[in-house]
Every structure is written in structure tokens, then in C-alpha cells.
């Protein structure tokens, strides 16, 4: 059962919405190669607000993901963000599925 997760909120600068949507869609192939990432969702919350929600079996899996390629890419694309990505580490209290 998944026990921990990440909830990431991304506020995008005007004009970069499609770039971020494409980046997130392309990141799926990277995350699929991460055995410790149980589930991963790229979200569009509004016209210029995006998000990522991913779950892990344990803290080690979450740390491995945070040290991975997608997290690194978020940091190298500072020119896209209206504000720094807001990353919340959350605990899963109950779940259905993975």
C-alpha cells in the first residue's frame, strides 16, 4: 500500500502554458522507469496552474524520486515558473488502487 506522496503546484508564466503541458506529458516516460514511484499524475488545474501528484510505498521511494530527472528538470526550467514550484510532502491516510 502506498504510504507517502508528493503534491507539486506549478504556477506558469504567461505564454509558457503549452511548453509546460508538453514537458509534463513527456515526463511520463521518465517516471515509468522509476520502480519506486507507484503512481504519477500530471495535472492542469487552471489556465496557468499545473500540478503533479505521485505516490510511493515508502519514504525511500519518495526521496529517490526527488533526486531523479523530473525533479531536476523542474529546477532547471526556472524561466517557466511565475513562482518557484511548491512541493508538499504528504502522508496517504487511505487509498483505492495502487
- The model carries a pTM of 0.92
Pairing type for strands 86-91 and 4-11 reads antiparallel
Summarised one tens digit per residue, pLDDT across range 8-25 is 999 999 999 999 999 999
Cβ neighbours of 91 (radius 10 Å): 8
The whole-number pLDDT of residue 81 equals 96
Q: How far apart are CA 3 and CA 67, in angstroms?
A: 19
The whole-number pLDDT of residue 97 equals 77
Query: What is the mean pLDDT of the segment spanning 48-68?
Result: 96
In the chain the domains, ranked by start, together with CATH numbers, are 4-91 (3.30.70.100)
Cβ neighbours of 64 (radius 10 Å): 15
Query: What is the mean pLDDT of the segment spanning 23-45?
Result: 95
Amino acid at each position: 500500500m502506498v504510504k507517502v506522496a508528493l503534491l507539486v503546484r506549478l504556477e506558469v508564466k504567461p505564454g509558457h502554458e503549452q511548453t509546460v503541458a508538453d514537458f509534463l506529458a513527456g515526463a511520463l516516460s521518465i517516471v515509468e522507469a522509476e520502480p519506486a514511484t507507484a503512481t504519477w499524475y500530471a495535472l492542469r488545474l487552471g489556465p496557468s496552474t499545473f500540478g503533479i501528484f505521485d505516490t510511493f510505498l515508502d519514504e525511500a521511494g519518495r526521496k529517490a524520486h526527488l533526486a531523479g530527472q523530473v525533479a531536476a528538470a523542474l529546477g532547471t526550467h526556472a524561466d517557466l515558473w511565475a513562482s518557484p514550484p511548491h512541493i508538499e510532502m504528504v502522508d496517504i491516510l487511505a487509498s483505492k488502487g495502487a
